[in-house]
Structure 1
Amino acid sequence: MSEAASSPRPEDPARPEENPWSRFIHRYFSHRGSLSEGLDKLNSQLGLNTQPFAAQLQTDTTVKTPTANHARSVMYAPDMDGQADPGEVVWVDIRPRRGGEMESRAVLIIGRNGHTLLTLLISENKDHLSEDNWLPIGSGPWENRGGESWIRLDKLIEVPESQILRRGVSMPERRFDRISARLRNDYGWR
């Protein structure tokens, strides 16, 4: 009998054992390449900028559409769990008028479409008192002057969730219910 046949063969370190757990670990946790290559790939998959101090241009990423175009069920569900929910008031940079400057404005979240929030604009402008497409919502922590506020019902603002500023403010449930009732009655929401 030859010596090669009687001695055990050294295992190939690149090949996993036949054990299912070993195959799993080798398949999902082995890597090729450098750590920096892996981090670059991870950052690109997460949508993170690979340049540490890249300039971020302030752009208007909001889309304004008729509220009736997004009719869906609406329910009050604010939860300060890290994800923006219907019933929360958040701030977003929008351009109120074409060619105007960007402004930070309070909006009410009434729904979502993936990572895009469906919101209604809140305003303190007293000119909205006599306009049918604006509903009075009273005062709250979303205003600067401490007076009456209105919410626009006929135009919905779609905002990427990554573009909002949260301050832990939610609309009182009874006010949200009044807003929901108008959306159901006038704009086909459920």
Structure 2
Amino acid sequence: MTYAGDDDGTVDPGEVVWTWVPYEEDHSQGKDRPVLVIGREGPWLIALQLTSQDHDRDAAQERRAGRLWVDIGTGPWDGRGRPSEVRVNRLIRIDPRAVRREGAVLPRPTYEAVVTAVRAAHRRG
């Protein structure tokens, strides 16, 4: 997980892109959504799903359900300018050819905070 975000047309860690993401409970279904690319694993991109839903209000319930979120603020990935959160304890493998479009480059300090939260979430198991 090394930051490489820039707007060069190649998908790199630190960038928010749009792609199809399977639902956790049924991988045969899903939806097109923004994700934050945090790294690579061989030919795959490793990403985290974004949401504009505010999970701060139900953080205890989300933790009990096994979902951990980190606020990343606003960005051009959301046309309505809503603040976003990224789920740090569900890694998603994405075929780079499945990326529909680039949404934005996340500021490096925000990316580093997310990666720190990902590492902490995965140490907990």
Give the structure-2-normalised TM-score.
0.78
Residue matched to 2:47: 119
Residue matched to 1:142: 77
Look up the equivalent residue of 1:125 and give its one-letter code. Q
Residue matched to 1:88: 15
Q: Does 1:157 align with 2:97?
A: no
SS at match of 1:155: coil
Look up the equivalent residue of 1:107 and give its one-letter code. V
Question: How big is the shift at 1:184?
Answer: 2.9
Residue matched to 2:33: 105
| Identity rate, percent | 34
Question: How big is the shift at 1:166?
Answer: 2.5
Give the structure-1-normalised TM-score.
0.53
Counterpart CA distance in 1 for 2:27 and 2:38 is: 27
Residue 107 of structure 1 contacts residue 121 of structure 1 at CA under 8 Å; is this kept in 2?
yes
Counterpart CA distance in 2 for 1:172 and 1:94 is: 23
Counterpart CA distance in 2 for 1:157 and 1:122 is: 11
Residue matched to 1:78: 5
Unaligned stretches of 5+ residues in structure 1:
1-73
Q: Does 1:170 align with 2:97?
A: no
CA gap of 1:139–1:182, structure 2 versus 1, over 3 A, is same
Question: How big is the shift at 1:187?
Answer: 2.1
Question: Whose helix proportion is higher, 1 or 2?
Answer: 1
Unaligned stretches of 5+ residues in structure 2:
none
Aligned residues between the structures:
114
Look up the equivalent residue of 2:15 and give its one-letter code. E
- What are the superposed Cα offsets for residues 65-102 of structure 1, whole Å, 9 maximum, x if unpaired? xxxxxxxxx22111344431100111001233538854
Larger Rg: 1 or 2?
1
Counterpart CA distance in 2 for 1:155 and 1:168 is: 20
Look up the equivalent residue of 1:123 and give its one-letter code. T
Structural RMSD (CA): 2.1
